Homo-oligomer: A and B are copies of this chain.
Amino acid sequence: MTADGGDDPQAPVRVGVLGCGTVGGALISILDEGADEVAARTGIRLEVTRVAVRNVARYRLPTLGSDRLTHDAHSVVCDPDVDVVVELIGGIEPARTLLVEAMRAGKPVVSANKELLANVGNELLAEAERAGVDLLYEAAVAGAIPLVRPLTESLAGERILRVMGIVNGTTNFVLTRMSEDGIGYGEALAEAQRLGYAERDPSADVEGYDAAAKAAIIAGIAFNADVVAGDVYREGITGIDPSDIEFAHRLGYEVKLLAVAERAGGSAARPVVAVRVHPAMVPRDHPLAGVRGSYNAVFIEGEASGELMLYGRGAGGRPTASAVLGDLVDAAHNLRAGGRGRAAPRARSEIRPIDELETQYYLTIDVEDRPGVLAAVATVFGGHRVSIRSMEQVGLGGEARLVFITHTALEADIQATISELALLESVERVGKLIRVIGPDPDAASGRAT
């Protein structure tokens, strides 16, 4: 298997690492210091032989000498002293080209690159199948949380109905601070930035792009379908107001940014998939409501298995490196056995548009505080077949804020409602629409609009 090792079971499997930031550094530390221990536990000795970084001169990991470091990623992929390639560069190019090159050279690859997998994952899976090598990516979604094997192997026979995840630690940290300490969005975000949970430009997190890429990957593995980031309906948390969270609490909810992938018809082999990222009100006794701070969790509803949740660190150097390591051990075992795992390219999935979503909604509307306004607003709801479950009015000086929770309604109808409300003269502002998770308590009883 190695250039000089032949069938020697003690011969190390030589790892080439592309990109050496937080995750790469953690991985190299674990393997440099703990290779004996990993070998004792797994029967696989892993040795990092080559590491590509952007700027060799600036690189300062003490154990990493110039014998292993290079700025030329291509040379790592082609090196005959590299058996397996780990890609931690991020972004689509040159990661894609490098991984294809590695696989074509017969080398299994491990990637933690969500953007890559969420955009060209299927192309890479096809390449892996053609080349007869593994493409493993447990670390690309939800960090240390085991997700790929549970969904594709443990639940292989299961009809998965829905997967809902808190898959972005930054936004969950911000929402947790807002919920537990009553601070505003800006203050919570600034704190997240100070603590290193959020980037200086936080838009990939707070606008939901990061979660949307992960939602696509989760939908792909849950429904064995080719789903890409562009298929994911996406909203971030920037419009969430402390008063929304206050209302959520009063109504028994927590506000969470959820990535939701659900089966929406189709056949077993070709399910229609609905996939979206948006803030949601989660009932306080739901396991996802208790996921605090920068933790991640993925909640799975299966037809026979019932409800499952997988919880843990969704980011960070060592947790993510732990997931990469699990994949590396797997790839090395398969390489030694001359085989590969069962991952295969997937059929393109039909995506249900967000307009066809049916759920309950939370919506606030600031209006002039005078008689007849509520009737006018209620008429707009009713005209679009949106039935109101509860309404509360809060005074705001000369204005009033109307807080609505609807019964289950069609997304197209609530959007039409919002558009029409915005045109009413008495309406000053329509607040953030928040979708409500959980059963409609009055769905079976009579409704009054």
A interface, CB within 8 angstroms of B: 26, 30, 34, 36-38, 40-42, 46, 138, 144-146, 148-150, 153-159, 224, 267-269, 285, 287, 290, 292, 302-313, 316, 318-319, 321-323, 325-326, 328-330, 333, 337, 339, 342
CB pair B304–A26 under 8 Å, yes or no, is yes
CB-defined contacts of A224 to chain B, threshold 8 Å = 41
Looking at A40, A154, A285, the one whose CB has the most chain B CB atoms below 10 A away is A154
Chain B nearest CB: distance from A160 CB in Å?
Answer: 9
Task: Known contacts A149-B149, A267-B40, A290-B287; decide if A312 and B322 are in contact (CB<8 Å).
Answer: no
Chain B nearest CB: distance from A223 CB in Å?
Answer: 9
CA distance in complex: A303, B303 (Å): 34
List the number of copies, as a whole number: 2
CA distance in complex: A287, B305 (Å): 21
CA distance in complex: A311, B298 (Å): 10
Chain B nearest CB: distance from A303 CB in Å?
Answer: 8
CA distance in complex: A313, B321 (Å): 29
CB pair B36–A268 under 8 Å, yes or no, is yes
Q: Which of B154, B311, B328, B337 contacts A309 (CB 8 A)?
A: B311
CB-defined contacts of A337 to chain B, threshold 8 Å = 339
CB-defined contacts of A310 to chain B, threshold 8 Å = 146, 150, 308-311
Q: Which of B146, B268, B316 contacts A150 (CB 8 A)?
A: B146
Looking at A138, A316, A319, the one whose CB has the most chain B CB atoms below 10 A away is A319
CB pair B313–A306 under 8 Å, yes or no, is yes
Task: Known contacts A308-B311, A318-B306, A322-B302; decide if A34 and B159 are in contact (CB<8 Å).
Answer: yes
CB pair A325–B158 under 8 Å, yes or no, is yes
Looking at A267, A305, A323, A330, the one whose CB has the most chain B CB atoms below 10 A away is A305
CB pair A304–B146 under 8 Å, yes or no, is no
Looking at A34, A292, A304, the one whose CB has the most chain B CB atoms below 10 A away is A304
CB-defined contacts of A42 to chain B, threshold 8 Å = 156-157
CA distance in complex: A400, B312 (Å): 44
CB pair A305–B312 under 8 Å, yes or no, is yes
CB pair A306–B312 under 8 Å, yes or no, is yes
Q: Which of B36, B155, B157, B292 contacts A30 (CB 8 A)?
A: B157
24 pairs across A/B with beta carbons < 8 Å?
A30-B157, A30-B304, A38-B157, A40-B269, A41-B159, A144-B306, A145-B308, A146-B154, A146-B155, A149-B149, A157-B325, A158-B322, A287-B290, A290-B290, A305-B313, A305-B323, A306-B312, A306-B318, A306-B322, A307-B312, A308-B311, A308-B313, A309-B312, A337-B339
Q: Which of B36, B157, B269, B339 contacts A339 (CB 8 A)?
A: B339
CB-defined contacts of A313 to chain B, threshold 8 Å = 305-308
CB pair B149–A154 under 8 Å, yes or no, is yes
Looking at A146, A157, A267, A309, the one whose CB has the most chain B CB atoms below 10 A away is A157
CB pair B326–A154 under 8 Å, yes or no, is yes
CA distance in complex: A309, B150 (Å): 13
CB pair A156–B40 under 8 Å, yes or no, is no
Task: Known contacts A157-B328, A330-B153; decide if A322 and B305 are in contact (CB<8 Å).
Answer: yes
CA distance in complex: A26, B302 (Å): 14
Chain B nearest CB: distance from A217 CB in Å?
Answer: 15
Chain B nearest CB: distance from A337 CB in Å?
Answer: 7
Chain B residue nearest in CB terms to A285: B292
CB-defined contacts of A149 to chain B, threshold 8 Å = 146, 149-150, 153-154
CA distance in complex: A145, B319 (Å): 21
Task: Known contacts A155-B146, A339-B337; decide if A319 and B305 are in contact (CB<8 Å).
Answer: yes
Chain B residue nearest in CB terms to A313: B306
CB-defined contacts of A330 to chain B, threshold 8 Å = 153, 156
CA distance in complex: A329, B36 (Å): 34
